[in-house]
Amino acid sequence: MREAEEELPRIVGIARGRRGFLPSDNQAAYGLLFPALLVLFALMVVPLAALLALSFWRQEGFTLLREFSLDNYRFIFALSPEPRYLGAIPFPFENPIYLMLAVKSVLMSALATAAVVLLAYPMAYFLAFRTHQHKFIWLIVVTIPFWTSYLLRLYAWKIMLGGNGVVNASLMNLGVLTEPLGFLLYNPFAVVIVLAHSWAAFAILPIYVSLEKIDRSLLEAAANLGDGPWQRFRSITLPLSRPGIVAAVLLVFIPTVGDYFTPQVVGGTSGMMIGNIVQSLFTRTNNAPLGAAVSIVTMAIVTLVATGFVALAADRRKRPGGRDDAVAA
Amino acid sequence: MRSRPDLLALYGVAYVLFLYGPLLLIPIFSFNDSIYVAFPLNGFTVRWYEELFANRVMLRAAWNSLMLAAAVSVVSTAVGLLAARALTRYRVSGRSFLLGMISVPLVVPGIVFGIALLILFRRFLGVELSLYTVGAGHLLLCVPFATLTLLSRMESFDLSLEEASHNLGENAWHTFWRVTFPLARPGVLASLLLTFTVCFDEVVLAFFLSGTEQTLPIYIYSQLRFPQRLPSVLALGTCILAVSIALIALAEWLRRGGGRHAQDGGQNA
């Protein structure tokens, strides 16, 4: 998490050099920070506390019972002797749908994250090492789609993958197909592709920043000592860009688990994610307390997975050859 | 390193095509003379645009979104300017914690804040949903964008300019208006443009927090159920894309130093 916090300001373009600070004056500083902290407190901390509180209340029919109970959590975790299966994973619960969807969302996001980062790495490498005079333009070009309407990007993919969409029509024109492929849209893979497209910038930029910081003389030294390109990449570039990769993984993984519109528009029934069920609990199904509990449980799972990932990545860094100082920098 | 630069450059170009290809479909089909959004194309028309600008519900939603985005971008930029000023001018205790806190709304899925704010407004405060509740949600999202954008410009300040102004006898207020603000102006403009775009396009928070008055993305989403309206939605989408790409390109240009060799210009330019 620390890396995500460190990387995020960098993505939005903060220069790291902090030169010329005037003497500390916390009172004045916190005075200036007050409006921002007020916004964060009133619109983030308080609502999250309200969400937590609601998850301990109960909904019976149309009335909300405002007294502390663990019923929602018991409902989610109630055990059953007959497990239901998601692939090979058993879910021995009375109402397995919530945990199943949460785990499925985590898996889909993990897949999307892997796809995003693998696709983004060569692009970031290209930006860092192969663009020279036009670097600035390339960076803007890569960033722009991220800022354009999320909903419109979804529509675009619907046209792309639909029954008579671009992919099907081109394949049919080429004579590869005689009938449109029905499986392109409304399934988990459509969701993964669209997520990979939507979050590209969040992966490219942190990796780019970490590659850009690599001291080029290290690469030259390695070359002079007779290392080939692949050897240089493995022993210098890849380990030194690890902080960027870790940040990219977190920045893509955490928000995508809760994505709700992407599965709604391109996922169909089989592509449903946890966000869809939370949304339905708050609207159609009208059980907001259960919805609150489901979101708390999901956030806990996501935090657990993210922390586990960071711990794993940190563990690997401690091996000889791993460079802890690159992270601290 | 120089042995096969073409392969990587090719990948770069292919990646940009992957990023922009799907988006290009929106303008293409907005001029297609068919109710079905599918290939083959059927000839050129502007009737979807005519239909669009005669649509009162859409115009109303567009007006709502414009007003909302204007208000939210001004407020969040003002809040962000003060925060960025505090973080660059003073050695604040807990600086990295503050930066982390400010960044949280950018990482947490929108649906979490959507439902959390919905609960706060409806169950605890009993407030009716309206454009104000959407605005509150967008403010939470835009303050971090504004703060981080402004920080990136203001960290490159030469604080000695302010000191000089101070030493020459200007008071704090004059120093701010005559030295600090002019230096921060490109950042302020970038922040206004970015937050305007973020607010104008935001749909997840708006989905949970809007009442009877729609914002434009909510209107677009509601049209998804009517396939016959899709071409006119695409015409609308084309207008939105054109405007937001222009605004963002300008904002990015300003933020990254406006072409001059500023802060990280050595790397980026």
Distance CA A301, CA A306 (A): 9
Query: CA end-to-end span of chain B, whole Å?
Result: 22
Averaging pLDDT over each range in A166-180, B90-104, B111-125, B178-192, which range is the top one? B111-125
Nearest CB neighbour to A279, from listed B9, B102, B111? B111
B104 to chain A: closest CA residue:
A5
Residue position matching structure tokens 């997520």: A195
CA distances from A104 to A83, A100, A144, A184, A226 (A): 16, 6, 30, 19, 47
Q: Which residue has the higher pLDDT, B119 or B93?
A: B119
Q: Which of 260-319 (A) contact B at CB < 8 A?
A: 260-261, 265, 275, 278-279, 282, 288, 291-292, 295, 299
Q: Give Cβ neighbours of residue B156 (< 8 Å, ≥ 6 apart).
A: A15, A17, B257, B262, B263
| pLDDT at A327 > cutoff 50 | no
Its pTM surpasses 0.90: no
The conformational region for residue A320 under phi > 0 = left, psi -120 to 50 = alpha, else beta, is beta
Mutation to test the B interface, candidates A8, A21, A170, most B Cβ within 10 Å: A8
| pLDDT at A186 > cutoff 60 | yes
Q: Length of chain B in residues, anyone? A: 269
Pairing state between β A89-93 and A63-65: unpaired
Q: What is the pLDDT of residue B184?
A: 80
Residue type, B127: V
Residue type, A43: L
Distance CA A166, CA A176 (A): 14
Distance CA A43, CA B111 (A): 14
Q: Minimal CA–CA distance to A123: which of A148, A110, A142?
A: A142
Q: Which of 177-206 (A) contact B at CB < 8 A?
A: 197, 200
* DSSP per-residue codes, A168-234: HHHHHHTTS-SS--GGGSSSHHHHHHHHHHHTHHHHHHHHHHHHHTS-HHHHHHHHHTT--HHHHII
State the average pLDDT over residues A299-303. 89
> What is the rounded average pLDDT for all residues in chain A?
80
Q: What is the pLDDT of residue A1?
A: 46
Name the least confident of A128-142, B51-65, B108-122.
Answer: A128-142
B135 to chain A: closest CA residue:
A43
Q: Minimal CA–CA distance to B220: which of A155, A195, A268?
A: A155
Distance CA A169, CA B196 (A): 37
Distance CA A192, CA A104 (A): 12
Q: What is the pLDDT confidence band of residue A18, given thresholds at 50, 70 and 90?
A: very low
Q: Does B198 touch chain A (CB under 8 A)?
A: yes
Is A263:A280 a contact under the CB 8 Å cutoff? no
Both tokens of A122, joined, read 């060569």
| pLDDT at A31 > cutoff 70 | yes
In the DSSP assignment, the letter for residue B224 is G
CA distances from A203 to A39, A194, A208, B35 (A): 28, 14, 9, 37
CB contact (8 A) between residue B217 and residue A143 = no
Distance CA B62, CA B66 (A): 6
Q: What is the pLDDT of residue B151?
A: 84
Percentage of residues in chain A with pLDDT exceeding 90?
Answer: 13
Q: What is the pLDDT of residue A15?
A: 40
A3 to chain B: closest CA residue:
B100
Name the least confident of A97-111, A175-189, B109-123.
Answer: A175-189
Q: Which residue has the higher pLDDT, B201 or B70?
A: B70
B146-186: pLDDT as tens digits? 998 888 777 766 677 777 877 887 777 787 788 877 878 88
Distance CA A151, CA B204 (A): 9
A199-226: pLDDT as tens digits? 888 888 889 888 888 888 888 888 888 8
Q: Length of chain A in residues, anyone? A: 329
CB contact (8 A) between residue B80 and residue A36 = yes
Which helix (H) or strand (E) segment is A303 a member of?
helix A288-317
Q: Give Cβ neighbours of residue B262 (< 8 Å, ≥ 6 apart).
A: B156, B256
CA dihedral in degrees (B176, B178, B179, B182; nearest 10)?
Answer: 100
Distance CA A141, CA B12 (A): 11
| pLDDT at B246 > cutoff 80 | yes
Q: Map residue A58 onto helix, strand or coil.
A: strand
Distance CA B3, CA A316 (A): 32
